[in-house]
Structure 1
Amino acid sequence: MEFDDAVLTRRSVHEYSDEPVAEETIEAVFERVRYSPSSYNLQPWEFLVLTEQENRERLQEVAYGQEHVADAPVAVAVLGNTDPSAHGEAVAEDQLRKGYLPNEEAKEGLLETIEGMADRDEETNRVWATKSTSLAAMTLMHAARAEGLSTCPVGGFDPDALHEEFDGDEQYEPVMLVTMGHAAPNAADTNTPRKFRRPVDDIVHREEFEPTEAELEDEVVTESFATQ
C-alpha cells in the first residue's frame, strides 16, 4: 500500500473480524516501527505484544473493560524507557563507527550529554520517553495499515494496573495501548465518511502563532452514510 493510502485510509477501528494476524505480518509491522525517529536516536520504546486470548483479556481489565482490547487478535502495550542512557553506549559507538562523530573524545562528550539527561528529574524523563515513544506508536499504526490491518490507539487504561498485571518494570512508562487486526465488515472503514479534521489553514501558522477555533462547515452526507 502506498504511504498516502495508508495515511488517508487509516481509521480507529473498534470492531475486528475473527481472522488471525499472521506472525510474519506482525514482524513486518515492527520491522518498520524500528525506523522511527527519537531524541538522540536513543529509541526508548518497547512493545508488549499480546496475541493469546487470555492475555488480551487480562489487558482488557487494565483498560477498564473496553471490549475491543480483547476482541482484536493483537493488542500492544506501548512502553517508553524513562532512562535516556539505557542504550546510550550502543548509539554513541554506532555514530563513531559511521563517522557521525569524529573521534573517541566526541563519543565521550555525547555520552556525557546522555548521562546528564538521565540525571534529570523523574517527571522530565517521563515526558521525554513519552514524546519519542509516541512517534513509534504512530509508525506502528501506519505500518499496520500498510499491511492491510486496522488499529485503534487506546489512552484509557490504568498504567499502575498494567505494571502489576504484567510484572512491568517501573522504569518503563506505559504510553498507550494499540489494538490491531482485520476490521470487521461493519467496522468504520474507507466506505464511511471520515470524521471532522481541521483544515491546513487552521493548524499551520506562518512566521507567527495565532490560535484558531475550529469551525465545522456544512457537508453533504449521503443517504447510506446518514443511516449508519
Structure 2
Amino acid sequence: MEFETVAGTRRSVHQYAEKELSKETLEEIFADVRNSPSSYNLQPWEFLVVQDTASRELLKENAYGQAHVADAPAVVVVLGNLDPAAHAIRVVDDQLQRGDLDRNARDKKLDRLRNKSEDPKTDRQLWTTQNVSLATMTLMHAAWARGIASCPMGGFDPDAVTEQFAIPDGYEPLMLVTLGYPRADADDLSGQRKFRRPVSEFVHYETFDPVTDADIVDTAATDD
C-alpha cells in the first residue's frame, strides 16, 4: 500500500480471523520497526511477541478481560529500557567508524550519554516513552501495510505483566499491541472513519491559538 492509504485506512481492530501470523511475517514487520527514529539513535525499545494460547489468556486477565488480547494470534508487549545508555557504545562507535566523530569526540559523547542514566527516573520514563511510542506507531503502520491489523492498548496491569513474563528491572511495559489478520466482518473496518479533527484546527503556523469543543459549540449556537 501507499503510505497515504496505510495511514488513512488503519483502524484499531478487535475482531481477528483464525489465521496464524508466521514468524517470517513478524520479522519483516520488525525489520521496518528498526528504522524508527530515536533520541541520539539510542533505540530504547524492546518487543515481546506472545503467541502461546495459554500466555495470551493470562495476558487477557492482566488486561482487564479485553477479549481481543486472547483472540488475536499475537500480542506484542511493548517495553521501554530505562537506561538511556544501554546501547550507547555501539551508537558512538558507529559514528566513529563512519567519520562523524573523532576519537576524542566519541569518548566525550559516550560520557554524556552515560550521564543520562543518572537522570531522575521520571525523566528517563518520559524519555523512553517518547521514543518507544515512535517505534510502536511504525509497528502498526508496517503491519497494516501487509494487511495485518492491530490495536494499541494502555489498559493493562504493568506490574502483573512484569511478573507474568519475568521482565527484569530496568524495563517497563508501556503498551500492548494485538496483531492479526482482520475478520471479514470486523466492525472496526466497516463504515466511515470515526470523528477526526480537521487539519485547520490542530495545525498552527507561527502562533498557537487552540480551538476547544466549547468554542465549536458556541459558534454553532451563534450560527443557529
> By the TM > 0.5 criterion, same fold?
yes
Match of 2:55 in 1: 55
Report the AA paired with residue 164 of structure 1.
E
Tell whether the 8 Å contact from 2:45 to 2:78 is kept in structure 1 after alignment. Answer: yes
Match of 2:24 in 1: 24
What aligned pairs does 1:129-148 form with structure 2 within 5 A after superposition? Answer: 129-148=128-147
Partners of 1:41 and 1:58 lie apart in 2 by: 34
What aligned pairs does 1:18-167 form with structure 2 within 5 A after superposition? Answer: 18-101=18-101, 103-167=102-166
Report the AA paired with residue 55 of structure 1.
S
Q: What count of residue pairs does the alignment treat as equivalent?
A: 216
Unaligned runs of at least 5 residues, structure 2 = none
Give the TM-score taking structure 1 as reference length: 0.91
Q: Pick which of 153-162 and 167-176 moved more.
A: 167-176
Report the AA paired with residue 73 of structure 2.
P
Report the AA paired with residue 14 of structure 1.
H
| Moved >6 Å (runs of 4+) | none
% of aligned pairs identical? 50
Report the AA paired with residue 115 of structure 2.
G
SS across alignment from 1:132: helix
Tell whether the 8 Å contact from 2:7 to 2:141 is kept in structure 1 after alignment. Answer: yes
**Post-superposition shift, 1:191?**
4.0
SS across alignment from 1:173: strand
Partners of 1:130 and 1:188 lie apart in 2 by: 30
**Post-superposition shift, 1:189?**
5.0
Tell whether the 8 Å contact from 2:82 to 2:125 is kept in structure 1 after alignment. Answer: yes
Partners of 1:6 and 1:22 lie apart in 2 by: 21
Tell whether the 8 Å contact from 1:129 to 1:173 is kept in structure 2 after alignment. Answer: no
Tell whether the 8 Å contact from 2:13 to 2:189 is kept in structure 1 after alignment. Answer: no
Match of 1:202 in 2: 201
Give the TM-score taking structure 2 as reference length: 0.93
Partners of 1:58 and 1:169 lie apart in 2 by: 19
Tell whether the 8 Å contact from 1:43 to 1:132 is kept in structure 2 after alignment. Answer: yes
Tell whether the 8 Å contact from 2:44 to 2:84 is kept in structure 1 after alignment. Answer: yes
